[in-house]
Structures are given as C-alpha cells and as structure tokens.
Chain A
Amino acid sequence: MIKAYLRSFPGARLTALIPAFYIAFIVLSGRWAFLGDAYLTLELLPNAFIYVFSLVAALSAYDTVIIARPESSALLATLPRGRAVRFIPGLMVAALSVILHTSITVGMFVLGGITDPRVGWGIVIWTVAVQNGSFVVVALLGSVIAFLAGPRIAPFLAFLVTFVYVLAASVAGGSPMIRALGSSIRQIWWTWNPEYKTVQSLLLIIAGCVLMLALMKFRPQLNALSVGDHVRVVAAGLGLSIGFMLPEIPYQMDVAPPPSRTLCTEVRDPRGGTLEFCGYAEDERYLPYLERVIILGRDFLAEADILLDDMPTRFESEGPDVSVDPDPDVVYLGLPSVVINSRVVHAPTEVGIPELELIANRFAIPPTCLSESAQDRLFMHDSEAIDAYGSLISTVFDAFDAIDGTLSPEDFATNYRELAVRCAE
C-alpha cells in the first residue's frame, strides 16, 4: 500500500532530497567528525532549514494539487469521508520529513556518542519536537496554497512563499515560530531558553490549527474564490503572522552549572619541555588534532625567529570567560573552528595562509588583548595600538612571504611585551 501511495504521489518520493541535502551539508561543512555536544548537534541541521522547509511546502503542494483538481473533487465527493482525503498528501509529506529528520538527528547523536547531554534530555527532545512541528506547519501551508493557486503554479509558489516567510521569520525582529538559523560552531555553555520554546510551540500549534481549519473548508479549484475562502485566507495569514508582533525573546541562555575545563593533557614540545592543554569534556575528540595545531603554530613562530620565551606554554579551549577575564599565561584556542578551519584534520600537509591567520591570531597576540575591555579601549580608537596589533600578525605572515614591511625579531618582542602590558591595564 505504501508502495502504491509513493507511486501515485511523486512529492512523497522526492522527500529523499531532504537527507541528501542534510548529508551534503554536514559533510561539506566538515563538522561530521566533531558532533560531540547536544547544542551543536541540534543546531547544525537548522542551517539547511531555509531550503528544507521550502522544499517540504513545495512537495506538499505538489501532491495536494492531485486531490485539489476539479476532476478529483467530483470523485472524492462520492467517498464517505472525502473531505478528509485532502489532508493526506500534506500530512504524508510531513510524516516522511519528520521520520527522515528525526533519524538523521538520532544518527548524529549516535555518531557524536552523546549519552549525557549537558543541557539535559528534556530540552533536547523538546527541541526535536519543535523542529518536527515546523515541518508539519510548512507542509500544511503548502497544501493550502495548492487549493488557492493553479495546479502547475502551486508547487513553486509554495516554495517561494515559504522561502520568503522563513527568511522573514528568521531575521532579527522576525517571528519566533519558525527559526531557520543554526549554529555552526560549538557553544557548550549555552542551552535553549524554555520561554522561547514555549512561545514557539504555542505559535506552531495555533498556526497548525488555523491552517487545518482553512484547508478543511476550501472548495477544490473552482477558479473563483468565495467570500468565505477569502476570509479563511486572511485568517490563515493572521495565524502565521502573530509571531511577528511579539517582542523579541532571547533564543539561548547560559547552561547551569557553567562548564569547567576538566580535561587536561600534556603535549610534548619538540624544543624541549612540555606544553599543557586543558579543555572541556566535549573536547575529547579534538585531542588527536590539537597536538598538531599547537606544534604547527609554535613552528611558524620559531621559523620566523619570533618565538619568545615568555609566550605562554599553557593552552586552553576558548570559553565565555575569555572576553571577560583572560589569563595572561594561557593561549586560548577557539575550538572547533581552529581545528576545522586549519585543515589539519582533512589535509594536514596543505596548510596555507588562511589557516595561518587563525593560528597566528592565537599565538602572536598577547592573551590579555582578547578581553572585551581591551578590545573596546584599545582597538576601537587607539590607532597606535591597532598598528601594533596588525604588525604582530603581519610579522607572522611575513615568514611565508605574504606581507611586506614587518618587524624584526627584536622589535616583535618589544611590541609583544608592550602590547601585553597595555592590554592588561
């Protein structure tokens, strides 16, 4: 029976594009190897929502027009519950997308080995449920459009309307109902704001009900909308736009208790001595790459003859405390971006200028300059400090013939120490 359904309704078959797009996104963004925490795992797929939601609406419309044609309506009128049939194509596309989305999410949890998420299982399940609820609402939106527009136009019209709606809802000042904004870096010190989730769930339920009520009453494709149809269209539009009138609610909040750097390891320095790295429990999967990043960064400086004895030998995973109160004896590494972007993961021999930029930023700048107060005080107004900062970075680049006019090793050392003092003031 399912086989027969898929043969008759091509849109349901085409939901196979959803996992294809997801997997392309996960693989091409290079993050598939680093799914260690629940927040990033659940915020990664929403990056692709603007396409996937539009696709679901279009496919739902594509299948519903088969029901909405005048020819079909004459046939369906003879069935005992012919009116309910119009929900089937949309809800079928929604059900298939929910199954695919949930299985990929579960697969990512398994891949990341997440057994005890810091944010708690309750909000994880709630987030997945809300994401799946959005699929149902956009599928219903597609079905409604299938009853309003001509059969050949409806699918693409549904795609375009959903694209613009999702885009408008996701920008600042938009609606909390649909959120197509994901995260691409890890923020293990954040969790989702339950207030936002409550409002989002309520809005989704309201929109779903309004769309279903509107869908129930349409007369199929008579090429002329009645007064009642217009009322239903306006009601559905209002149901979808309630969220735009609400004040903005913060999406995330700090996770309690705040995470601490409990994972420590020693890195052997080829120049003698040991370097130390401390990170969060979620950093465990970065450890094999971290040693390479740290040695690589120090090698760059040593080759340029600017590796100073008083540069810190302790490395830490970057956290929210960096912008508030950075430790002058610690180099902070912004994980996972420093690992992913430095290509040491996938192609360790091809480390070039863009990768250097990240590492140079971390190694050649005094850690105290990362604090927000130093950034505001020095790097917004003080042109002398900006020049000093820039010359430190370009000196590192100079080792690779990227930029001319840089400092001698002695000047670099003086510059580094002066800037460290000024930043710490």
Chain B
Amino acid sequence: MSRGRSAYSVLAWWARLHSYRALAPFAVVWSVLMLLFGGIEVLEIGPIRLPASAPIAIMLTFGGGFIVNYSMWLGTNVPIPNSRRYAAVRVIATVVVLICASAVTVVGVFVRDSDPMSSMRNLVFAFCAFYWTQRIAPSIYWLITATYLLAAMFFGMGDDDFMPWALPLVRGDSLPHLIFTGSLLILTLFGVAYRVPSIRSL
C-alpha cells in the first residue's frame, strides 16, 4: 500500500468516526444566522450600550468556535489511537473546519462591509476558549464560555471602552490582539494534537 493511499484511508476513517452528521443542523443554523445578520452593526444589544457600533458577528462567532471545537469529537467510544499520524490528521481536520467557518464569517461580515478583523479574531478565540474549557470542565464547557461572553457584554464596560478582560467586545485589529490570538491558536492546535477533549459531557 502506498503512503498516499494510507493517508487517505486515515482521513476517511477519521471522518467516519466523527459524528459530523450531528453537527449539520448547528452548522446550517449558524451559517444562515451569520450570512443574514453577520454584517449588521448594532449600537445597543438589549440593555447594553456599546461605546461604538459593532457587528453582530462579534457575538455570533462564538457559535462558529463551538462548531470548530465540536468537529474534533469522536462520535463513538472508540479509543483515540496514540500515534503521530492520527494527531496530524486531527489537527488537519480541525484546521479545515476552522477555514470553512472563517469563510462563512468573512462572507457574512463583508457583505455589509463591517469589521472583519474583530470577527475573525473572535472566531479563533471562541474556538480556543471552547477547547480549553472543555479540557477543564467537559460537561458544562459551553455554559462557561457563553456566560463569559455575556458577562463581558454586561459587566465589561469601562468608562468609554470595554475592559481588557472583555476581549470579545474589544476591537481586534491591533497588533497585540493578533499576536495573542495567534499564539493561543498555536497552543490550542498543539493541545488538539496531544489530546482530544473528553466526551464525558452527558
């Protein structure tokens, strides 16, 4: 068996092991929301008055981060093979889904010429946040991350801008932001290669 053929079968097996089908409704709902509302800029979200108008995509990208994180879960209870090849495929599969989610984000945001950098930064950040909270508290990781986003929206307001800890709401086009998010992504991808988060969620 040639090497290329072998890599292909690993990828195919990987896709079969994952319950990508269960991901479909979420991905569809999220993509539609993103394409419809992603570019809309809001100044007020319910009671929260933002210091400057921001696209709804900034909040919605958390759904995209969830999808990317979910895409690496095993759909069955098959133990994860402990080999470099599987680790590499795991990272590749994650990056592929991340690129797809980024494409939806970029299209959704660019349609109305909004702020793409913050949305992209948030997509990557949300993925990393979901991944690491899942490593810490598998059964309620989605709750932790969603509560963090909403707490940032409600309590992260400083005098005329958001506090640094309320990262998802701060404009993301500055260099420190890119460096921070980039390093977090690299760290997270190493984590993905090292171990898939537990599925002890139920």
A residues with a Cβ closer than 8 A to B are 10, 14, 17, 21, 24-25, 28, 46-51, 54-55, 58, 65-66, 69, 148-153, 155-157, 159-161, 163-164, 166-167, 170, 180-182, 184, 223, 354
- The answer to whether the Cβ of B29 comes within 8 Å of any Cβ in the partner chain is yes
Contact of B146 among A58, A161, A166 (CB under 8 A): A58
- Contact across chains for A223 and B25 when beta carbons are under 8 A apart: no
Q: How far is the CA of A157 from the CA of B47 in the complex (A)?
A: 23
Q: How far is the CB of A356 from chain B (nearest CB, A)?
A: 14
Q: Could you mark each residue 50-61 of chain B with 1 if its beta carbon is under 8 Å from any beta carbon of chain A, else 0?
A: 000000100110
Q: Among A21, A46, A149, A156, which residue has the most Cβ atoms of chain B within 10 A?
A: A156
Q: When the two chains form their complex, are residues A58 and B143 in contact, meaning their CB atoms are under 8 A apart?
A: yes
Q: Tell whether, in the assembled complex, residue A149 and residue B140 are in contact, meaning their CB atoms are under 8 Å apart.
A: no
B86 at the interface (CB under 8 A from A): no
Name the one of B45, B139, B155, B159 contacting A354, with C-beta atoms under 8 angstroms: B159
How far is A28 from B146 in the complex, measured between Cα atoms in Å? 20
Which A residues are CB-close (under 8 A) to B45?
50, 167
A to B CB contacts below 8 Å, 20 in the list: A25-B155, A48-B154, A50-B150, A54-B150, A55-B147, A58-B146, A149-B26, A150-B22, A151-B202, A152-B201, A153-B23, A153-B26, A155-B142, A155-B143, A156-B26, A156-B63, A157-B26, A157-B29, A161-B29, A163-B59
Q: A152-B70, A152-B199 are in contact. Are A49 and B29 (CB under 8 A)?
A: no
Give A167 to B56 CA distance when docked, in angstroms: 10
Cross-chain contact B33 with A167 (CB below 8 angstroms): no
Other-chain contact of B155, A24, A152, A155, A161 (Cβ < 8 Å): A24
Among B19, B47, B56, B142, contact of A156 (Cβ-Cβ < 8 Å): B142
Q: Decide: A167 and B202 in contact? CB cutoff 8 A.
A: no
Task: Report the minimum CB–CB distance from B101 to chain A (whole Å).
Answer: 14
What residue in chain A is nearest B63 (Cβ atoms)? A160
Q: Is the CB of B25 within 8 A of A153?
A: yes
Q: A50-B45, A150-B19, A152-B73 are in contact. Are A157 and B154 (CB under 8 A)?
A: no
Query: From residue B178, how far is it (CB to closest CB) to chain A in Å?
Result: 26
- Number of A-B residue pairs having CB atoms within 8 Å of each other in the complex: 94
Nearest-CB residue, chain A, relative to B27 = A153
Contact residues in A for B23 (Cβ distance below 8 Å): 150, 153
Most B Cβ at <10 Å: residue of A10, A149, A164, A354: A164
Secondary structure call for the B interface: helix
Whether B25 and A159, one on each chain, are in contact in the complex, defined by CB atoms closer than 8 angstroms, is no
Known contacts A25-B154, A51-B150; is A153 also within 8 Å of B46 by CB?
no
Contact: B140 with A14, CB < 8 Å? Answer: yes
Contact indicator A54/B73 (Cβ below 8 Å): no
Cβ-defined contact, A180 with B70, below 8 A: no
Interface hub of A58, A149, A152, A181 (most chain B Cβ within 10 A)? A152
Q: What are the residues of chain B within 8 A of A46 when measuring CB–CB?
A: 47
Q: A152-B22, A152-B73, A157-B29 are in contact. Are A54 and B146 (CB under 8 A)?
A: yes
Cα(A58)–Cα(B151), bound, Å: 16
Residues on B with beta carbons closer than 8 Å to the beta carbon of A54: 146, 150
Asked whether B199 lies within 8 Å of A170 as measured between CB atoms, the reply is: no
Does B3 have its Cβ within 8 Å of any Cβ on chain A? no
Q: Interface digits, B182-202 against A, CB 8 Å rule (1 contact, 0 not)? A: 000000000000000001011
Q: Which 4 A-B pairs have the closest CB atoms?
A: A150-B22, A47-B47, A156-B142, A51-B150
A65–B140 Cα distance when bound, in Å, is 14
